[in-house]
Amino acid sequence: MTAPTLSPAAEAARAGDEPRFLAALCAPPERRERLFALVALNLELARIPVTVSEPMLGEIRLQWWRDALEDLFERGRAAGHEVIAALAAAAPPDPAPLYEMVEARRLALAPGGLSESDLEAFLAGTAGALMRAEVQALGGGAKAEEAAALAGWAEGAGRLVAALPAMMAEGSAPFDETAAREGAALRARLAALAQEGLARLARARALRAEVPRAARAPLLSAHVAERALRAAIRPGYDPFAPDAPSPFRLRGGLLLRAAFGRY
């Protein structure tokens, strides 16, 4: 039997962000393309700060995306990129989270890392805004969006913790304080971030009964990042020797949660 052909947005999501791709597959079939388009947009935006050679070039590229989104949502013109075409076809209901996703990436362009307040805004405007947009695309109400903002922030924090070794190796430490880039100070900063992420994830789960089952799929991917958060609060945690769980175990956990509707 021939495997079904994926749309360009779905293929981009599968190749670049498997946890969110698998979560999207758990959504109602007729709405999955909306989620794939949003994940593909997030991937495009996430690449900018780590691929440009100087901040001004990143600003130019982010402004292009901002202008393209405004053309789509305010003037009905979809041109310039296949992700914009996918968004037009998927018709997300509210552009506000998408604008937030663009603006939050500007924070990552500043040299020297993120302050605590910038990190809060970055996580809320990247993973948090993405998950809110996904839940909106599935018809979730206010409580679903609240849960998505919490779980998305937690997912972003977990992904940051997991990505830290690669970031440090590339000279792009996420924190602004020099003292928080090594040793005990770094572990303490990561533990505080992880504790906050776990607290927000718990609050998101406390809202589960108020999140329509059809809108829960995007929240499933937070489970994959949760492992990194729990590791970061353990005594003796080494941020440069992170645990590397079997991808089959992580996929299985996500799909099991989907089966029971328990993000």
* Pairwise CA distance, residues 39 & 252, whole Å: 21
Closest among 130, 158, 148 to 215, alpha carbons compared:
148
Q: Which of 119, 151, 172, 162 is closest to 263 using CA atoms?
A: 151
Pick from 87, 118, 92: nearest CA to 105? 118
pTM: 0.92
> For the segment 47-99, what is each residue's pLDDT rounded down to a tens digit?
999 899 899 999 999 999 999 999 999 988 888 899 999 999 887 678 999 99
H/E/C letters for each residue in 125-167? HHHHHHHHHHHHHCCCCHHHHHHHHHHHHHHHHHHHHHHHHHH
- pLDDT tens column, 189-211: 899 999 999 999 999 999 999 99
Could you tell me the end-to-end alpha-carbon distance of the chain, in angstroms, rounded to an integer?
32
Residue range 122-180, pLDDT digits in tens: 999 999 999 999 999 999 999 999 999 999 999 999 999 998 887 777 766 677 655 45
